[in-house]
Structure 1
């Protein structure tokens, strides 16, 4: 049976393409590189959080055991649906199955980058990638943190240390196990030079392992991921954020709540580009449902001064 001749409104991507697409989505997203995906059921997902970690008690032989101190609450990861709709000439329905399979591959290739960038833009900035606008109804995102460092000197590494200090010296103290870096900030770090005794630049790279600042995977022994989603560009106006530092391992709880269905649309105007029948086109719509919760106080933002 040809892929596009099914009477079903929705079909699943072939498993090998779907699995590869999810893998690529994770590899392209800075959030996914630094923060592990976890299984999630569809809908709002509750996570238990200890407000005060329980304390163990040493008990002598024959002595009474006391009630363990500590309290817990819960936070809720909410679903966020992302979609990509692309049009094709309707003649692809009559092509061979091999050619139709190639269409699915092209859809996956184009969609995986859009969906991975969408994860970053939503988690970091609550930005709608298609419009570049802020989704004001979302109040849970990394950029809501009050721990912020404004870049004031040419020593970008000093800004990283200052941001780390805001987290490490806070109460409670949060771990620093990841940093997401905008390419502009990566270049600033890579361009730093060691100094001579008189304070003048030596001409030698301060961090030679950074090369020209491309594809940075670690900095100061901290796992790093580089991408322009940190600044929100080009989908939106530059947010001026240059780096995000913090507890990526535990401070972001995210997952993919639903498989990747493809909806075949033959009629109507599903994306505002004109009637499909009139234009002799069909549309394929790819959707994924993310779920996430962000502990914003576990992150610090390094940003340029806003004019």
Structure 2
């Protein structure tokens, strides 16, 4: 447990940093950048699916009309509640009021980053961000897909083509309208060199990628870049370097409840002792996500496990 004290806040005061807090930049949710959020009520949400699409029939003048055969099924998006609780010494809120730094607001913003990253880690890998462990009771997550490409001797762009091919040439065929990539994979693409008859040259194969620090498009496929693809730093590296697939139709997700920042001044909200007795306050953010993933519409590119 970490308890933040007034000494931690002093470095943020205007005497030291004129603009207030400087916070570490982290990637936000790649899921949210590639897949549309949709409204959801609280609890399990059922989505109707077609087992076989209905087919149109052309009918000649005066001819009889036939019915089309089809079948219905359903999938269920389940709720997943996430929370961030931080403890502070009481004096921090006084410093915040006196210096008008917005310390608690900044911490709340950082908490929102944590919740955004939590969406990726849960939906991609079923990882609990706080502990870095796998939630074994969850059985619906993207990297459960059996469509996998192992990075070995092929160039990174060939691995990407192979993953796309698994989806487009699959039965049924899947669309590819997004790819989430780890920074290591972005660098592998950016570092590729052109080849001629004598071998590799010094010219970049994809000069538009620069150093691969902010890739937004590759081969016409929208890209969202973030280290949640590999599950780091919250968990041990999953070795996943890219997730390719139908982000528009293969993921149904939404926010079922988004609770405001709550300042808790009494009680023991996290099992670390009574707040008043310890002269502390707690800051809590909570959110309830709901999602269902069609795992067969995704392919994973992963490092070779040594």
- Shorter-chain TM-score bucket reads 0.7 to 0.9
Change (3 A) 1:93 1:194: closer
> Superposition RMSD on alpha carbons, in Å?
1.9
Change (3 A) 1:79 1:119: same
Q: 8 Å contact 2:179–2:242 — kept in the other structure? A: yes
Give the equivalent residue in structure 2 for 1:255: 254
Alignment pair present for 1:133 and 2:113: no
Shift of 1:260: 2.3
Residue segments in structure 2 that go unaligned for 5+ positions in a row: 1-26
Shift of 1:87: 1.9
SS at match of 2:84: strand
Distance 2:103 2:75 in 1: 41
Alignment pair present for 1:269 and 2:244: no
Give the equivalent residue in structure 2 for 1:32: 32
Distance 1:225 1:94 in 2: 40
Q: 8 Å contact 2:215–2:225 — kept in the other structure? A: yes
Give the equivalent residue in structure 1 for 2:122: 122
Give the equivalent residue in structure 1 for 2:151: 151
Give the equivalent residue in structure 2 for 1:89: 89
Shift of 1:98: 8.9
Shift of 1:99: 7.0
Alignment pair present for 1:67 and 2:67: yes
Distance 1:95 1:65 in 2: 77
- 5 Å-filtered alignment, 1:123-272, equals 123-198=123-198, 200-272=199-271
Distance 1:299 1:238 in 2: 20
Give the equivalent residue in structure 1 for 2:20: none
Distance 2:79 2:63 in 1: 49
- 5 Å-filtered alignment, 1:272-283, equals 272-283=271-282
SS at match of 2:102: helix
Distance 1:271 1:100 in 2: 28
Structure 1 residue ranges, 4+ long, deviating more than 4 angstroms after superposition:
91-101
Shift of 1:100: 8.0
Shift of 1:269: 2.7
Shift of 1:276: 1.1
Residue segments in structure 1 that go unaligned for 5+ positions in a row: 1-26
Shift of 1:93: 6.2
Q: 8 Å contact 1:93–1:100 — kept in the other structure? A: no
SS at match of 1:128: coil
Shift of 1:171: 0.7
Give the equivalent residue in structure 2 for 1:295: 294
TM-score (norm 2): 0.86
Shift of 1:241: 0.5
Number of positions where the alignment pairs a residue of Structure 1 with one of Structure 2: 280
Give the equivalent residue in structure 1 for 2:102: 102
Shift of 1:261: 2.7
Distance 2:277 2:100 in 1: 22
Change (3 A) 1:211 1:257: same
Distance 1:98 1:55 in 2: 69
TM-score (norm 1): 0.86
Shift of 1:96: 8.5
